[in-house]
Amino acid sequence: DIVLTQTTLSSPVTLGQPASISCRSSQSLVHSDGNTYLSWLQQRPGQPPRLLIYKISNRFSGVPDRFSGSGAGTDFTLKINRVEAEDVGVYYCMQATQLITFGQGTRLEI
Amino acid sequence: QVQLQESGPGLVKPSGTLSLTCVVSGGSVSSNNWWSWVRQPPGKGLEWVGEIYHSGTTNYNPSLKSRVTVSLDKSKNQISLKLSSVTAADTAIYYCTRSPYDDNCWGQGTLVTVSS
């Protein structure tokens, strides 16, 4: 099984400042088709999760450009350029290279 | 716009079987997609349960595989989840979702409590 381990944020984050969350995989997430199926999701309180980033760095439709993803192989990062109040919630990395697993989640507080 | 709506009993007895359905509106379960179930125990993180392709091919979380069945009903345009031999550890919000790794289509979730 692939295990995803996320970092915790030093809390709370200051409005307007950047924030970064890391996700490390127990094995390479490069699929045999050449793609890396690493996504980032946001879950606001009381809401279902929402896809932000797919295949490492592709922003989903409607996601603000202050969100960006990077990384390769086993190490990945979600960056928020300037944190806004609406960004409060829990962030999950997710892999779909081999079945599906989620990281344990990282809480962003302001 | 595709919408997903989960439904089923909110309370299941220990050792019983949890049964949920997810009705798809605005789209078809026969479309070229994987349909997944994801659960979230109260106050905890997300756990993938299993998925089904429109062809009927399924994949399951290895830790749940012996107890889980995901199926499609094309005539009713819905996806179903059955989880047998439940315990309190299966208490969670259960979400239905379409291709969660590259799409943003989730139901609102339904809370299932396992208790006598």
* Per-residue pLDDT reduced to its tens digit, B65-110: 999 999 999 999 999 999 999 999 999 999 999 998 889 999 999 9
Residue of A65, A56, A77, A70 whose CA lies nearest to B101: A56
A76, burial (CB in 10 Å: exposed 0-12, middle 13-18, buried 19+): buried
Any bridge partners for residue A20, and if so which? A79
* Per-residue pLDDT reduced to its tens digit, A49-92: 999 999 999 999 999 999 999 999 999 999 999 999 999 999 99
* Per-residue pLDDT reduced to its tens digit, A11-45: 788 999 999 999 999 999 999 999 999 999 999 99
CB-CB neighbors (< 8 A) of B100 in chain A: 39, 41, 49, 51, 94, 96, 100
Asked if B62 lies within 8 A of A96 by C-beta distance, the reply is no
Assign B89 to helix, strand or coil.
Answer: helix
Kindly report the nearest CA distance between residue A14 and chain B, in angstroms.
24
Backbone dihedral angles phi then psi of residue B4, each to the nearest 5 degrees? -120, 140
The pLDDT of residue A10 is 67
For residues A42-58, one letter each, b for 16 or more C-beta atoms within 10 angstroms of the residue's C-beta and e for the rest, the string is bbeeeebbbbbbbbbbe
Tokens of B30: 């026969």
Nearest to A50 among B48, B104, B108 (CB): B104
Q: Which residue of A has its CA nearest to B101?
A: A39
Say if A91 is an interface residue toward chain B (CB within 8 Å).
no
**Would strands A106-108 and A38-43 be described as parallel, antiparallel, or unpaired?**
unpaired
The pLDDT of residue A87 is 96
User: How far is residue A37 CA from its own chain's centroid?
Assistant: 12
Asked if A61 lies within 8 A of B48 by C-beta distance, the reply is no
* Per-residue pLDDT reduced to its tens digit, A43-59: 999 999 999 999 999 99
What DSSP state is assigned to residue B54? T
From residue A78, alpha-carbon distances to A69, A103, B35 in Å are 5, 13, 26
Asked if A60 lies within 8 A of B104 by C-beta distance, the reply is yes
Q: Categorize the per-residue pLDDT at A8 as very low, low, confident or very high, splitting at 50, 70 and 90.
A: confident
What is the Cα–Cα distance from A4 to A32, expressed in whole angstroms?
A: 19
